[in-house]
A and B are shown apart, each in its own frame.
Chain A
């Protein structure tokens, strides 16, 4: 018997395309955020509230992924910014190639911000790098405060956790402190913002967070 070392990363083809995308985004100065959550945690709602607050001249676009339907793209297109839907026809995640294709015809140098809404799923999307600057995980209070421990990958790889639907806290047994503690036990650096997309809580903090990231990305782009 002979053992031969292979030492090959699975999904290396996805990673290769994602690295190309990352280089392209950096070169054009486009900040890309990849939003991940379970189905129904409020990804589209958060993006709706985000777009709604932007002045019309904001250079922002959205790519949204779903297994079926273009409902989310239609919801998001109402705000007048460019939106594209990716329907994965069964796949439980977006991959780098799908994102690359969806950008066809867009001039990235005209965009400061590209928001990606991943397929509703807290597991599979974490395996696929899309060339984003940061992943953002959205957890709503109806899902339970133990979710960071049960689905650690999404929390380990995200820079920010948005705790959404806090307007429902009076009605569901959700321990905010436990949720924060659990997320930080997986990822001590994770930033946390609490929001209610329906009542409008926390949206300023969220917009400021995005603003700071855009600023950061622009600074990196400057030579020297």
Chain B
């Protein structure tokens, strides 16, 4: 179960990004997860929900694009509301 570590890294990257956009609040984060990345998507989703719940990031929607036959594990984008 290493999805919690990965989820923490995603949250950290989200925080770095929002610090660059004062006054904006994040509404959605987009990830790309390859089939061979060694990551269970449902478990990652669960870990991210746990990390976000009842924090200033709550609610944060999650868009996970699953890539068949891929090895990638990327944070693709962040959606911000003014």
Q: Verify B80–A2 contact, CB threshold 8 A.
A: yes
Interface size on A, residues (CB 8 A): 26
- From the candidates B2, B10, B27, B82, name the one contacting A91 in the complex (CB within 8 A): B2
Q: Verify B17–A123 contact, CB threshold 8 A.
A: no
| B36 cross-chain contacts in A, Cβ below 8 A | 126, 152-153, 156-157
Q: Verify B37–A3 contact, CB threshold 8 A.
A: no
Which of A6, A10, A124, A128 has most chain B Cβ within 10 Å? Answer: A10
Q: Verify B13–A127 contact, CB threshold 8 A.
A: no
Q: Verify B21–A6 contact, CB threshold 8 A.
A: no
Contact A3/B6 with A125-B38, A153-B71 known, Cβ cut-off 8 Å: no
| B2 cross-chain contacts in A, Cβ below 8 A | 91-93, 124, 127
What is the CA–CA distance of A1 and B80 in the complex, to the nearest angstrom? 6
Residue B65 interfacial (CB < 8 Å): no
Residue A4 interfacial (CB < 8 Å): yes
Question: In the complex, what residue of chain B is closest to A6 when comparing beta carbons?
Answer: B75
Q: Verify B6–A6 contact, CB threshold 8 A.
A: no
What is the CA–CA distance of A127 and B9 in the complex, to the nearest angstrom? 14
| A125 cross-chain contacts in B, Cβ below 8 A | 38
- Scoring A residues 119 to 157 as 1 if CB is less than 8 Å from chain B, else 0, what string do you get? 000011111100000000000000000000000111011
Contact A123/B81 with A6-B76, A8-B75, A9-B73 known, Cβ cut-off 8 Å: no
Q: Verify A157–B71 contact, CB threshold 8 A.
A: yes
Residue B58 interfacial (CB < 8 Å): no
| A11 cross-chain contacts in B, Cβ below 8 A | 6, 9, 73
Residue A7 interfacial (CB < 8 Å): yes
With both chains docked as a complex, state the minimum distance between the C-beta of A19 and any C-beta of chain B, in angstroms.
Answer: 16
Q: Verify A153–B78 contact, CB threshold 8 A.
A: no
Q: Verify B27–A1 contact, CB threshold 8 A.
A: yes
| A89 cross-chain contacts in B, Cβ below 8 A | none
- Scoring B residues 25 to 52 as 1 if CB is less than 8 Å from chain A, else 0, what string do you get? 0010001000111111000000000000
| B69 cross-chain contacts in A, Cβ below 8 A | 156
Contact A6/B13 with A125-B38, A152-B35, A153-B35 known, Cβ cut-off 8 Å: yes
- From the candidates B1, B6, B21, name the one contacting A10 in the complex (CB within 8 A): B6
What is the CA–CA distance of A13 and B73 in the complex, to the nearest angstrom? 13
| A154 cross-chain contacts in B, Cβ below 8 A | 38
What is the CA–CA distance of A92 and B5 in the complex, to the nearest angstrom? 11
- From the candidates B9, B21, B71, B74, name the one contacting A4 in the complex (CB within 8 A): B21
| A3 cross-chain contacts in B, Cβ below 8 A | 77-80
Residue ranges of A at the interface with B (Cβ–Cβ < 8 Å) = 1-11, 13, 91-93, 123-128, 152-154, 156-157
Pairs A-B, 9 closest by C-beta atoms:
A127-B38, A153-B36, A126-B38, A156-B36, A10-B73, A124-B2, A6-B75, A8-B75, A153-B38
Known: A2-B80, A6-B75, A126-B36. 4 other contacts (CB 8 A): A8-B75, A9-B74, A127-B73, A128-B38
